[in-house]
Amino acid sequence: MKKDFITATPDTGSGNGTVNVKSDKNTGGSRSTFITITGGGITKTLPISQEESPVNVIVVGGGGNIIKTTIT
């Protein structure tokens, strides 16, 4: 199932199982969506969000070393 920027597989099934969710590469601003899973009389809605790209990360080590990187 393709929804917004994510793909969930499988999109149907029965019994116990696993749902895999993969997101498209984010080349813009932050975004969010949701998937709803229903079974056995229970419905769960799961929010999914992705930060804007690129994400800048700064890590300061115990010795004062600073590492700055960008995750795209």
pLDDT digits (tens, 9 = 90+) for 22-55: 989 888 889 999 998 888 888 989 899 888 877 7
pLDDT grade, residue 72 (50/70/90)?
Answer: low
Closest CA to 5 of 20, 28, 22, 29: 22
Degrees, nearest 5: CA angle 24-35-13: 100
Q: For 11-32, what is the mean pLDDT? A: 86
* Sign of the dihedral through C-alpha 19, 37, 23, 70: negative
Domain ranges (residues) in the chain: 2-71
